[in-house]
Amino acid sequence: MKILIVYAHHEPKSFSSALKDLAVKVLSGEGHEVRVSDLHAQGFKAVADEHDFKELLDKNYVNYMLEQKNSTTKGVFAEDITVEQEKIKWADFILIQTPIWWFSVPAILKGWFDRVFATGITWDFGAIYDKGLLRGKKGMLAITTGGPSELYQPQGAHQATIEQVLYPINRGTLYFCGMDVLPPFVAWSVFQAGDGGRKKYLEEYKKRLLNLEHTELLLKH
């Protein structure tokens, strides 16, 4: 497979980075083609604005969605967006490696979705879900949390499961654009896990990576 890893953590010594490095090593070792979008290392711009387009459909009123559509047609996206869109087109499988902050993803990853998953590229009017433009591709989240799994229970402090927290990404982004979605890999409470706990997560993640093609889908078109 052609696998794109989108990595969204600022610290190269983080456990998220260790998971990313493991994924590159394991997947490459299995013969997959692997590319990495290290968003912080690339200095990826998170904020969506009029500078994302080399020319504007309407300079007096910037409708971002319509400007995306126009840029898809004319090929006038900013260069950093075009580079990422080419990676998406290339990939069979998109692996999102990210911490969970405030029941969501870091701003740099949200900005990647906002700017790169453009109208006409990943979805279009009348082309969502089973008609989404990323049909035939698969996606998966690999996440780290600061808190333990006990918080992510209906009766826990968050009163929400991890599936509910990740719903806007799994269903509202990846599945929305036509992708089949695998269950997330979750490394819980990495601050408190200790060296032994983190080593165990790495072992579990390796097993998941070795079985990507045989993992039962969470969301399937």
Active-site residues, by number, are 146, 152, 158
| Beta strand 138-144 pairing with 93-99 | parallel
Are 191 and 150 in contact by the 8 Å Cβ rule? The answer is no
Alpha-carbon distances, residue 91 vs 85, 125, 172 (angstroms):
10, 23, 20
> Which residues have CB under 8 Å from 40's CB, separation 6+?
8, 9, 10, 108
Q: Both tokens of residue 5? A: 């890893």
Q: Cα–Cα distance between 155 and 9 in angstroms, integer?
A: 30
- Interatomic CA distance for residues 15 and 10, integer angstroms: 11
